[in-house]
Structure 1
């Protein structure tokens, strides 16, 4: 199992989540579409050569974004990351993938 964590602007949070859930990610037992999310403020400065969805090159931008976390099976993690990249409005979406330890044996 893996945990996928990503940041997405308010305007696209549901679209990106649905694309990821369609891959089978976010399933815990008999429950689908599971995630945790919190609203916060992200910041970035688009550099020369970038094509920012929000903001202008060279200028610091602050935007309200959701941090979304969900679990992914070994079978769905690659498809989930591909869906995230395809559905996300940013040219360089911020995300991380963490391998999880199976604690059922503890």
Structure 2
């Protein structure tokens, strides 16, 4: 039986793009079954909007002020639940935000 596969997606400011990718790749994300490809991801630059509240300590912006900032959305493959969990832990250690947008979707094999 093949290990479960997951798509890990996260958003990150350009200043921390490479360090975040390196962290998840070191944890095993981005490697395809069979080992022929490694450090694979899709990234797209977009705009994020948020308003920090008075309870926040934002990396970017000020409480009460609406912010629009450029961020990358990164998508990568995690083969195995342990790789997915380790990749999320590694990402949390290096990402600069106090509230990180992380999405994990389990993939299904369709023949």
Normalised TM-score (structure 2) = 0.90
User: Does 1:72 find its partner at 2:72?
Assistant: no
Q: Which residue, out of 5, 11, 15, partners 2:9?
A: 5
- Answering whether residue 87 of structure 2 is matched by residue 83 of structure 1, we say no
Q: What is the alpha-carbon root mean square deviation over aligned residues? A: 0.8
CA deviation profile, 1:40-76 (whole Å, cap 9, x unmatched): 1111111121110000001111111001000102220
Structure 1: gaps (5+ residues)? none
How do residues 14-93 of structure 1 correspond to structure 2 at under 5 angstroms? 14-29=18-33, 30-74=36-80, 75-93=82-100
4+ residue runs of structure 1 moved beyond 3 angstroms? none
Equivalent residue pairs, number: 104
Name which of 90, 100, 104 aligns with 1:97. Answer: 104
Aligned counterparts of 1:73 and 1:57: Cα–Cα separation in 2: 39
Q: Distance in 1 between matches of 2:15 and 2:23?
A: 14
